[in-house]
Amino acid sequence: MARKRKGQPVHGWLVLDKPEGVTSTQALAKVRWLLNAEKGGHGGTLDPLASGVLPIALGEATKTVSYAMDGRKTYLFTVRWGERTTTDDREGPVVERSGVRPDAAAIRAALPDFLGEIDQVPPQFSAIKVDGERAYDMARGGETVELAARRVRIDRFELAGEPDADSATFEVDCGKGTYIRSLARDLARKLGTVGHVTLLRRLRVGGFTLERSISLDDLAAMEQGAAVERLLLPIETALDDIPALALTEAEAHRLKHGQTVALLTRQDQERLAALQASAGADGAVIALFAGKPVALARVEGAEVRPVRVLNL
């Protein structure tokens, strides 16, 4: 006998302002419990040290999590100069010191070297798997973990302030897979010193922003029904960069049942031509009927094939 799922069918996105000191998985579990939601996921892990935007997908929104994780991100972070730690943040012990403290002019002169596509070596204490084992588990066991450099993208990197002589605060816009701890480590090296992250706050993930977020405490203080009604964002919020394809009722019915929809009339071809001009290389679209999402789909020639059907 199949196990009965616990919770209610809640569908949509909630933007959580994750506090420091909890993992993303713990934060997700708390949201699901507070909303009595039967299914959930999150759109991009934040370290326990970090706070800020953690998009929480509930119900059918979990089928769009990968699109949220691909979204551009904005971070605010503070680097302490002169101390390197094992974890590249304040949680690890100090293993190297330097008396060099870069001034604002030197910092600003170095920042352009990190813009665009750059190769970045992830921190040893990261969730990347090496021979089937998490890098942070190996590092905690005393092993020296050699991780390969990865190509990441930095679109904006600005000095936001200098709280004191030993620290500097930055704001950065970056793409998927960027490690802020590595960025801080490499910038410090570029400036002839060492450093580690003492504060990390995520301000944005794609279309999910801090202005639309709620804390766990405020969420806990709301009535469950009111929280769902006032806070949940539509499933398609994670799909801002994906073009929409409006379907007829008959087309939507076919797609929802996993069948391919052929668009062969002249009017259909005009629809496809306009769509393909804005679609990505993979032809991904969000199929809509009466303004509501039906499925994530892919356009192949004159055919629309369902990728993930949304059961709403």
Active site residues: 47
Tokens encoding 112: 């352009």
Sorted by sequence, the CB contacts under 8 Å of residue 54 that are 6+ apart come out as 15, 16, 17, 18, 24, 27, 28, 42, 43, 44, 46, 202
Pick from 206, 281, 258: which is nearest to 236 by CA?
206
Burial group, residue 112, by CB count within 10 angstroms (0-12, 13-18, 19+): exposed
Closest CA to 182 of 79, 58, 291: 79
Q: 189: Cβ–Cβ under 8 A, 6 or more apart, which residues?
A: none
Beta-carbon contacts of residue 93 (< 8 Å; ≥ 6 apart): 85, 86
- Say if strands 73-81 and 167-174 run parallel, antiparallel, or are unpaired: antiparallel
Q: How many CB atoms lie within 10 A of CB 97?
A: 10
Helix axes 224-231, 24-35, angle to 10 degrees: 120
Among the listed residues 45, 21, 43, the one whose alpha carbon sits nearest the alpha carbon of residue 122:
45
